[in-house]
Structure 1
Amino acid sequence: MIELGHPTFWRATLALCLGSFMIFANVYVTQPLLPMLAQDFNVSPLLAGWTFTVTTLMLGLSLLLYGPLSDALGRRGIMLLTMVGATLTTCALSFVDDYTSLVVLRALQGFFLGGLPAIAIAYMGDEFTKPAVAVAVGLYISGNSLGGIGGRLIGGFVGEWLGWNSAFMVMSVVSLVCLAVFAIALPKSEHFKPQRLHPGRMLKDLGSHLRNPMLVLAYIIGGLNFFIFVNQYSYITFVLSDEPYNLSSAFLGMLFLTYLTGTFGSAISGKVAVRVAQPWCMALGILILICGSLLTLSHSLVLIIAGFFANSFGFFFAHSSASSWVSHNATHAKASASSLYLVFYYLGASCGGFYLHPFWEHSGWPGVIFGSLLVLAVTLACSCWLGLRHRAVLAAA
């Protein structure tokens, strides 16, 4: 097993973090381009948002396939194959000239992008010791947030300078570099124990996870938090591109530098969880997310940005805690359990825009925040209930 601090640990973690960076840079590259896409294709903000929504939707659905498939066929090969597919699709997107083709290719891209997120944490669970997993998961999720930043910066700056087509071309080059390093650096699986590919067993495993309240509550928390968090960014781009801010695509891309606090939040979550039970870490992250959302109601651009810094820290702190909680509390088929968490997570991302749209249409940004607080109150209650249940189980033991 790979021990914490061993050179192989850093090599494997670097590979997984770079892979994570590549995946999430591709997912989020269109988000700062939404006002530009709406104008170029003459579509509404909701339809422009489909270039992001359909990717997360297909990514989420694909996890139902990749997780169980990797339990039978192995982790490393599937991650590599899907990353190759994602890179090729990104290149194809740079040649698109109509909205329908853009959405279809983004959907196909989302399907390929699901391979690594579905399997990476299960790979860690197979190959790393438990202390190493706790640290590696936090660093891996930091790679998620850095990928979100990188993709949005590429989309914003390259999109404004050369057009949105060129943003996909640059993204394909970045993806190719990350893919090459990943293939060289990631160690081969040494401790993977294959299971027979049996559809009935796959469904049984998924069903057993859904009957485990210790997992289901984490699924709900992760899915509904992302349901709100990522779609707030989509709607704020329309706020800040309009009067009185009039920010360009490049500056909208820079807004996503607020994800840097999420990188820090993910990285320290494992260390905090050593002292504080993970459900209470989730609750703390949600409270910070609520406070940050309220701060964005200010008309000051500085305070809006500060609110998103807080949001990012709180969200990724809670997400890292919930993801690690699932890995620790799944008694079997860990890849399936982690994949199911991510299904809830990405389906939340794809559905949140539809939930928030009526609030946006009725009351603008204050309406979006009101709708956000309703959902965050639910996830806060779930995390507190999970914390109390966990305490009761420990007391009984």
Structure 2
Amino acid sequence: MSADGRERRLVVALFVSGFATFAQVFDAQAILPSLSRDLGIPSATAALAVSATTLGIAASVLAWAWLSDRIGRTAVMRISLVATTVLALLAPAAPTLEVLIGMRALTGVALGGIQAVAMALLVEVLPRHRVPPAAAMYIMGNTVGGVTGRVIAGPASELLHWRVGLLVVAAIGAVACLLFFVLLPRGLEDRAVRTAPFRIALAHVGHHLRRWTTLSVYLQGFLIMGSFTAIYNYLGFHLTREPFSLPVALASLFFLVYFVGAASARIAGGLAVRIPPWSVVTCGGLLVGVAALPMLAGQLWVLFAGVTLLTIGTFMSHPLSSTLSGMDADRGRAQSTALYQLSWLTGAALWGWFGGVLYDRFDWTGVVAMSTALALIAVAIAASRAWATRTGWTGEGRAA
């Protein structure tokens, strides 16, 4: 097989892995209104079905990154997808909410293997100029998986039961797992450091957290994805209540705007080849910030426009930040990409849950206000990072 053919198969395999991951992370987002109604629990408690999964990923990514240094990136991805498939198929049978949340957390731990090493693998095996477009394809897989999980689970939860919605998405994830095994090229040998001791991995983590060059990337994920997840967690609640009163199945169609986000991720990846990536990240954050006003409107089409702006801005910022977590690392690349995953997943879990506290107290306005504040802080950090790139400052006296 030619080098170009192997590269195409690798990118498609990672697209499939991203699809499988996010279909099974965010399918629960679409069933939250049904779960809340069925179990008689508040929205913030229902949202734990999403937060448990993202926290499970966050808690495991550094361990997966270290394991990938020992046994190889692709071996970790295979183990991760198999474990995810088994757990996702079992979770819908959980007899209680507590067991369901525990199963979702374990599913997140399994999914952490993909999230920890996919970007590091791309950076290590592709020429540098090919990484941003390939990373955008991987993020697109995340996007399409997220949309599919939501659009299938939401209507199924309303027409049948939320358990059925989760089970159908898990079955689709099992098919994606098989496709990944078929597509992934053999013999990539991704330059894993087979004998790296755990203390060296921890030293890499400390190094990355001390460098503004990398720390600023992690903060982007924590803030922007926290802002984004909070909006999407409670959008279904907002749409199914006054003044819109949409059925869950129809409200779930709002998630189709993710495809606009996927297109913006591709465009952002292309722009980052021509202009400084941090300029693109800054613009993405600004779009998230200005989305607040239309999202507060009482007209459905204006609300949709605001959600679309939020989605475009997020997918301009998030894929590039994820890519930069690998490209800007001067050592311990797997640890750096894992730290980015840890940051954005922690942000998604924390702010996704806290948004429910605000929603129960201040309604939709509280969620939008929090989302906007997080985005504006992210913009300030991204702008400072763009300045640091131009001036060569890293916060430790070395050129960026």
Q: TM-score range by the shorter chain?
A: over 0.9
Sort the Cα spacing of 1:375 and 1:73 in 2 relative to 1 into closer, same or farther, 3 A: same
Superposition pairs for residues 240-259 of structure 1, below 5 Å? Answer: 240-259=239-258
Superposition pairs for residues 4-83 of structure 1, below 5 Å? Answer: 6-83=4-81
Could you tell me how far 1:363 is from its partner in structure 2? Answer: 2.6
SS at match of 1:56: helix
Displaced runs of 4+ in structure 1, greater than 4 A? 394-397
1:118 corresponding residue in structure 2: 116
2:166 corresponding residue in structure 1: 168
- Contact 1:2 1:132 (8 Å CA) reproduced: no
Superposition pairs for residues 273-284 of structure 1, below 5 Å? Answer: 273-284=272-283
SS at match of 1:30: helix
Q: Alpha carbon RMSD of aligned pairs, Å? A: 1.8
- Tell me the amino acid that sits aligned with residue 268 of structure 1: I
- Does residue 369 (structure 1) correspond to residue 350 (structure 2)? The answer is no
Could you tell me how far 1:360 is from its partner in structure 2? Answer: 2.4
Could you tell me how far 1:374 is from its partner in structure 2? Answer: 1.8
1:127 corresponding residue in structure 2: 125
Sort the Cα spacing of 1:40 and 1:341 in 2 relative to 1 into closer, same or farther, 3 A: same
Could you tell me how far 1:364 is from its partner in structure 2? Answer: 1.6
Q: Distance in 1 between matches of 2:332 and 2:82?
A: 26
Sort the Cα spacing of 1:276 and 1:41 in 2 relative to 1 into closer, same or farther, 3 A: same
Q: Distance in 1 between matches of 2:314 and 2:262?
A: 10
- Contact 2:68 2:192 (8 Å CA) reproduced: no
- Tell me the amino acid that sits aligned with residue 119 of structure 1: V
Sort the Cα spacing of 1:169 and 1:355 in 2 relative to 1 into closer, same or farther, 3 A: closer
Q: Deviation per CA, 1:22-74, whole angstroms, max 9, x where unpaired?
A: 10000001111111101111111111010011110111111111112112210
Q: Distance in 2 between matches of 1:47 and 1:193?
A: 41
Could you tell me how far 1:132 is from its partner in structure 2? Answer: 2.1
Of 147, 158, 164, 1:149 maps to 147
- Contact 1:41 1:98 (8 Å CA) reproduced: no
2:195 corresponding residue in structure 1: 196
Sort the Cα spacing of 1:396 and 1:350 in 2 relative to 1 into closer, same or farther, 3 A: closer
Q: Distance in 2 between matches of 1:354 and 1:2?
A: 47
Gaps of 5+ in 2: none
- Contact 1:2 1:129 (8 Å CA) reproduced: no
1:384 corresponding residue in structure 2: 383
SS at match of 1:29: helix
Q: Distance in 1 between matches of 2:357 and 2:34?
A: 22
- Contact 1:60 1:347 (8 Å CA) reproduced: yes
Could you tell me how far 1:358 is from its partner in structure 2? Answer: 4.5
Could you tell me how far 1:2 is from its partner in structure 2? Answer: 8.5
- Tell me the amino acid that sits aligned with residue 276 of structure 2: A
- Contact 2:51 2:353 (8 Å CA) reproduced: no
2:315 corresponding residue in structure 1: 316
Q: Deviation per CA, 1:212-240, whole angstroms, max 9, x where unpaired?
A: 11110111011111111111111221111
Name the stretch that deviates more: 276-285 or 164-173: 164-173
Sort the Cα spacing of 1:19 and 1:371 in 2 relative to 1 into closer, same or farther, 3 A: same
- Does residue 227 (structure 1) correspond to residue 226 (structure 2)? The answer is yes
Q: Distance in 1 between matches of 2:272 and 2:56?
A: 32
TM-score normalised by length of structure 1: 0.95
- Does residue 269 (structure 1) correspond to residue 265 (structure 2)? The answer is no
Alignment coverage as a number of residue pairs: 395
2:293 corresponding residue in structure 1: 294
- Contact 1:23 1:113 (8 Å CA) reproduced: yes
- Contact 2:289 2:372 (8 Å CA) reproduced: yes
Q: Distance in 2 between matches of 1:106 and 1:193?
A: 30
Could you tell me how far 1:147 is from its partner in structure 2? Answer: 1.0
- Contact 2:325 2:337 (8 Å CA) reproduced: yes
Q: Distance in 1 between matches of 2:369 and 2:123?
A: 39
Sort the Cα spacing of 1:12 and 1:38 in 2 relative to 1 into closer, same or farther, 3 A: same
Q: Distance in 2 between matches of 1:138 and 1:13?
A: 10
1:333 corresponding residue in structure 2: 332
Q: Deviation per CA, 1:123-165, whole angstroms, max 9, x where unpaired?
A: 1122211122221101111111111101101111222222111
Sort the Cα spacing of 1:210 and 1:159 in 2 relative to 1 into closer, same or farther, 3 A: same
Q: Deviation per CA, 1:244-300, whole angstroms, max 9, x where unpaired?
A: 322222122211111111101111212101222111111100111112232111101
- Tell me the amino acid that sits aligned with residue 249 of structure 1: V
- Contact 1:223 1:348 (8 Å CA) reproduced: yes
- Does residue 217 (structure 1) correspond to residue 216 (structure 2)? The answer is yes
- Does residue 159 (structure 1) correspond to residue 157 (structure 2)? The answer is yes
- Contact 1:87 1:176 (8 Å CA) reproduced: yes
Name the stretch that deviates more: 364-373 or 178-187: 364-373
- Contact 1:152 1:253 (8 Å CA) reproduced: yes
